[in-house]
């Protein structure tokens, strides 16, 4: 029997702070940001609503233009895989960090949302998708605006993240 495994992460949450982009010595862009996800439930004994927030560290390679749009409070969809790495801290102790290595990032909006170009993570009222391979310093032209009643044949069921 063949052995199978899956390493897939899907997050839908809000950014905890503005994204930071740094460059490796070879010039590759690395963007880091945190995503908060919330879980809400009703306590069976007290009847009170409780909420728990989890924080996720996300790493996105080769997308230096994206950091300008990933600002605190914005809602974001992230798809990628988990990666654990180790390093030695200043005292020589080995530390481990688990991060989400993002393949796709979709800006959904958030604070300051508006109808202008890329304002609030939207272009013409539609979410803006930033796949990992779209970096390289070149910005692709946004899709042409269409009337609300027009059908966009370029979108298929495979493009919907749910």
Question: For 152, left (φ over 0), alpha (ψ -120 to 50), or beta?
Answer: beta
| Interatomic CA distance for residues 82 and 36, integer angstroms | 16
What are the residue boundaries of the structural domains of the chain, listed by start? 9-137
Q: What is the pTM of this model?
A: 0.64
DSSP state of 46: T
Residue 64 CB coordination number (10 Å): 19
pLDDT at 67 over 60: yes
Higher pLDDT, 72 or 119: 72
Question: For 46, left (φ over 0), alpha (ψ -120 to 50), or beta?
Answer: alpha
| Interatomic CA distance for residues 156 and 77, integer angstroms | 18
How confident is the model over 88-130, as pLDDT tens digits?
Answer: 999 999 999 999 999 999 998 645 553 323 333 334 444 455 5
Confidence of residue 61 (pLDDT cuts 50, 70, 90): very high
CATH code for residues 9-137? 2.40.50.140
The alpha-helical segments, DSSP class H, found in 81-131 are none
């Amino acid at each position: 029997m063949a052995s199978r495994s899956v390493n897939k992460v899907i997050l839908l949450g809000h950014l905890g702070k503005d994204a930071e982009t740094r460059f490796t010595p070879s010039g590759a862009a690395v963007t880091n940001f945190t995503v908060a996800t919330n879980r809400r439930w009703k306590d069976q004994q007290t009847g009170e609503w409780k909420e728990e927030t989890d924080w996720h560290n996300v790493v996105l390679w080769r997308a230096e233009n994206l950091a300008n749009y990933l600002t605190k409070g914005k809602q974001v969809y992230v798809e990628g895989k988990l990666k654990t790495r180790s390093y030695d801290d200043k005292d020589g102790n080995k530390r481990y960090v688990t991060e989400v290595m993002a393949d796709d990032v979709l800006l959904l909006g958030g604070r300051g949302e508006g109808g202008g170009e890329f304002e609030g993570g939207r272009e013409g009222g539609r979410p803006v998708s930033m796949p990992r391979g779209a970096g390289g310093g070149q910005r692709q032209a946004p899709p042409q605006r269409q009337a609300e009643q027009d059908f966009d044949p370029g979108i298929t069921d495979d493009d919907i993240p749910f």
